[in-house]
Amino acid sequence: MLETSARLLRLLSLLQTPREWPGSELAERLSVTGRTIRKDVERLRELGYPVDATRGSTGGYRLAAGAAMPPLLLTDDEAVAVTIGLNTIARGAMAGMEETSIQALAKLEQVLPARLRRRVRTLQRYAVPVPADGPSAKVDTDVLTVLVAACRDRERLRLDYLDHAGAATRRTVEPQRVVNWGRRWYLVAWDVDRDDWRTFRVDRITPRTPTGPRFAPREDPDGDAATYVSGKVSAAAWRHRARVVVHAPAAEVLDRINPAVGTVEPIDAGTCVLDTGADSLDTLAVHLGMLGHDFDVTDPPELVAHLRMLAARYSRSTRPAEPRSP
């Protein structure tokens, strides 16, 4: 009986994975026959677990959504990952989720086996996050839920939006993705009135419901919404910009930078143009120095002057030592 109960728990754990399991694969995983798997599935159904089955060569078993949530079965690593994730959210930037996350964390830690509880507490004690550079904007979870639902259902959304200066605008958008970058959330959407892609900080959005009509799906801007956001958000914060000719193939330069640093356009097989920027000339100079290739800078004039000043400083720092007097 104990062996059967343990096998049922292992079977239930496999079925909770979001995929369809062929009976033969389940039998191999549990080292039993296909007939035993069929009997175990029937036992789970008798216990109230809605296990769906499909016939044919591509058929199999999967756990369907039921009226009641079955007990959640997690492996050791999964349990540790969920616990650490809840602990991170409790310190995160989602308004209203801190207390809920702490309550869920307390319940989970209460039922963790001693060996896992020790692992979790060790991680919590010795894995310390670096505090944010500044206060992070809180994101309303209800707003986040509305946005991701509109993305999923492909429904137009009317929203009020505050720009960086605090000015309010009314926008009609076709939401594409919600992107989390660090401690901020961004909505990537097609702006209907401007006929172009735009990014919106979620903490500045007030959605208006109900949502509008459905729209035809589009490919993510630049092929990847996260890359698009990192490039747009960084560029919007740049105080200084520069277009630099780099004496290296575009592919080599791309390997050394990320979208938050700039974009690369090939000129020929051996040179390319880097469109880059930063909030300070010192940071911009560091980015260029880390390229590992020669480059030409002609503008802006303040960057040229700054690089010359740095070149002179570096030159002075490496002067040959004067010979000592006897």
Residues 279 and 305 in one domain: yes
- What is the sign, positive or negative, of the torsion defined by CA atoms of 77, 83, 88, 89? positive
185-221 pLDDT per residue, tens: 889 999 999 999 998 988 899 998 888 889 998 998 8
Q: Which domain holds residue 203?
A: 139-221
Total domain count, the chain: 4
Q: Is residue 100 part of a domain?
A: yes
C-alpha closest to that of 204 among 177, 165, 239: 165
Residue matched to tokens 């990952």: 81
233-276 pLDDT per residue, tens: 666 667 888 889 999 999 888 888 776 677 788 999 999 998 88
Q: Is residue 32 part of a domain?
A: yes
Of 291 and 85, more confident = 291
Residues 56 and 80 in one domain: no
Residues 106 and 154 in one domain: no
As a whole number of angstroms, the distance between CA 40 and CA 64 comes to 16
Residues 214 and 248 in one domain: no
Give the mean pLDDT of the chain. 80
Residues 214 and 145 in one domain: yes
Is the N-terminal amide bond of 300 cis, ω within 30° of 0? yes
Question: Final residue of a domain: which of 104, 126, 148?
Answer: 126
Are 257 and 282 contacting, i.e. CB atoms less than 8 angstroms apart? no
Of 234 and 54, more confident = 54
Question: Final residue of a domain: which of 63, 85, 105?
Answer: 63
Strand partners, 169: 161
The CATH number for 175's domain is 2.30.30
- pLDDT of amino acid 197: 93
- Quote the Cα angle for 221-158-213, to 5°: 80
Residues 253 and 191 in one domain: no
Question: Final residue of a domain: which of 168, 195, 221?
Answer: 221
Q: Is residue 322 part of a domain?
A: no
Strand 94-95 and strand 139-140: the pairing is: parallel
Q: Is residue 102 part of a domain?
A: yes
Q: Is residue 231 part of a domain?
A: no
Q: Is residue 230 part of a domain?
A: no
- pLDDT of amino acid 1: 54
Range in 18-27, 39-48, 69-78, 286-295 the model is least confident about: 69-78
Range in 67-76, 153-162, 224-233, 276-285 the model is least confident about: 67-76
As a whole number of angstroms, the distance between CA 83 and CA 94 comes to 17
**Distances from the Cα of 80 to the Cα of 18, 120, 129, 182, 268, angstroms:** 20, 6, 17, 22, 51
The CATH number for 10's domain is 1.10.10.10
- pLDDT of amino acid 67: 47
**Distances from the Cα of 298 to the Cα of 245, 274, 306, 323, angstroms:** 9, 13, 12, 39
Tokens of 217: 């799906």
- pLDDT of amino acid 319: 75
115-173 pLDDT per residue, tens: 777 887 777 776 766 665 555 567 777 788 888 889 988 999 999 998 877 888 999 99
**Averaged pLDDT for residues 83-111:** 65
Residues 48 and 83 in one domain: no
**Averaged pLDDT for residues 71-92:** 70
pTM: 0.55
As a whole number of angstroms, the distance between CA 86 and CA 88 comes to 5
Hey, how many other C-beta atoms are within 10 angstroms of the C-beta on 91?
A: 12
Question: Percent of the chain, pLDDT > 70?
Answer: 77
Q: Which residues of 264-281 are buried (b: 16+ CB within 10 A; e: fewer)?
A: beeeeeebbbbebbbeeb
Residues 92 and 160 in one domain: no
C-alpha closest to that of 134 among 230, 237, 232: 237
Residue matched to tokens 């999967």: 62
As a whole number of angstroms, the distance between CA 38 and CA 35 comes to 5
Question: Percent of the chain, pLDDT > 90?
Answer: 20
176-187 pLDDT per residue, tens: 998 887 667 889
Residues 120 and 152 in one domain: no
